[in-house]
Amino acid sequence: MFDVPVIQKELSHHSSFYLYHEKKILEATTQLKESFPTVEFLYSMKTNANPSVVDCVLSQGFGVDAASVAEVMAGVARGVPQHKIQFSAPGKSKKHIEETIDHAILVADSLNEVQLIQTVAQEKGIVATIGIRVHPSFSFLGGAATPSKFGVDEEQFLEALPVLDALPNLEIRGIHIHVQSQELSHQVLTQYYTNQLTLVRRAQEKAKHPFTFLNMGSGIGIPYSLTDAPLDVPGLGQTLTGLLKEFLVDFPEMGIYVETGRYAVGKSGVYVTTVLDKKVSRGKTFVILENTLNGFIRPSLEQLVRKYSGESTPAASEPLFTKENAFQFIALTQETQEETVTLVGNLCTAADVVATDITLPILQVGNAIVITNAGSYAAVLSPMQFSSQIPPAELFCTSQGDVITYQK
């Protein structure tokens, strides 16, 4: 699952670090490309913007799902062509639009934003091809659609299409739909894809020009807890390929995009931290680790959700909380005798708890613990400035076994 000799070697340089394996990223991206031959993938860079990770994913022909100006520019700097960078995020300012309109396909997140892009295009004297993020009239799991801060409600979009089509400096040619991440059910994703293709047919009836791209968003999940059954990605690919075969007969010009962050890199990373101290307080054994809440926040958030929700299976709140028991803790020690411990961090807050009353081999100060599922929404989410600790290093292990180090 991870490379213990590499970890042991790096522990002599760093007492807490992320380790990303190129080999794992290549396995995941190859799996996607082979499973979905009619689709172009966009890397959702917000999941992990480590430069070597980005280099690796983009080297596989992925475009960019950018959520900020900086992410657009990270794609531009790596030579990604404009049509393979889609900038989709709520609340783009005029400045954001001015800085990216020549480098990315802008996906408007509201009708106001369409007007703002029209203004910028007019000022620049260009005609911009753009997409619109549509908040569909269907929900992810079936049942009524809910309100959303993202995109334009499908009903409003369909009604506005004649007006949008008449804007002189815009060609509205794309539809972006993303409702949910981290799904492991083939059946749910199949229905979701089917509903999306039907939405495009409804929109095309109202639009003057043929749509030329559909961005189907993400949804493809990874197993987090040991009881999760992994999604059958080749099977899902085959299903979508079948659906598209029919669809593309009527839409021969349509480019189909799927976004992914988590599937590409989520399983490629582990977090490694070291035991700094150990104590017993009124019968409870605490193991104090370096840079936990501040270095890899998600296990601590899981503890908070467990403490405050009072529910047996609290709902996901991506990307902060996915589910319970989403991270495994592996002690790097030869010790075979076990004990029950509570893992906490070295911050001056009682909220810095990563695991409560778990059974692990008896740990000594200086031993290391590996935490799994640290490749996505991990380093990027963690409050590393909290209490001015030295943040964990980020290490990238190439397929050849060389390690590239990033230390802030």
Ligand X SMILES: *Cc1c(COP(=O)(O)O)cnc(C)c1O
Residues that bind ligand X (CB under 6 A): 44, 46-47, 65, 88, 178, 181-182, 217-218, 259-263, 376
Dihedral sign, Cα of residue 93, residue 99, residue 100, residue 106? positive
Q: How far is the CB of 131 from ligand X (least distance, A)?
A: 12
Q: How far is the CB of 188 from ligand X (least distance, A)?
A: 14
Nearer to ligand X, 65 or 154 (CB): 65
Q: How far is the CB of 332 from ligand X (least distance, A)?
A: 28
Give dist(CA 148, CA 384) in Å, integer: 30
> In this chain, which residue has its C-beta nearest to ligand X?
261
Nearer to ligand X, 231 or 370 (CB): 231
Nearer to ligand X, 261 or 295 (CB): 261
Residue 342's φ and ψ, nearest 5 degrees, are -115, 125
The owner of tokens 């991506």 is 318
Peptide bond into 210 cis (omega under 30): no
Nearer to ligand X, 191 or 333 (CB): 191
Nearest to 177 by CA among 204, 200, 201: 200
Give dist(CA 341, CA 357) in Å, integer: 5
Nearer to ligand X, 138 or 329 (CB): 138
Triad 315, 316, 319: Cα angle to 5°: 160
Q: How far is the CB of 201 from ligand X (least distance, A)?
A: 22
Nearer to ligand X, 260 or 367 (CB): 260
Q: How far is the CB of 182 from ligand X (least distance, A)?
A: 5
Strand (E) positions, 109-248? 128-135, 152-153, 170-176, 213-215
Nearer to ligand X, 114 or 353 (CB): 114
Contact yes or no for 147/255 (Cβ under 8 A):
no
Q: Which residues contact 246 (CB under 8 A, 6 or more apart)?
A: none
Residue 251's φ and ψ, nearest 5 degrees, are -130, 65
Q: How far is the CB of 158 from ligand X (least distance, A)?
A: 21
Nearer to ligand X, 42 or 270 (CB): 42
Q: How far is the CB of 192 from ligand X (least distance, A)?
A: 13
DSSP for 14-45?
A: -SSEEEEEHHHHHHHHHHHHHH-TT-EEEEEG
Beta strands 329-332 and 105-108 are: unpaired
Per the structure block, which two tokens stand in for 7? 């970890």
Q: How far is the CB of 322 from ligand X (least distance, A)?
A: 10
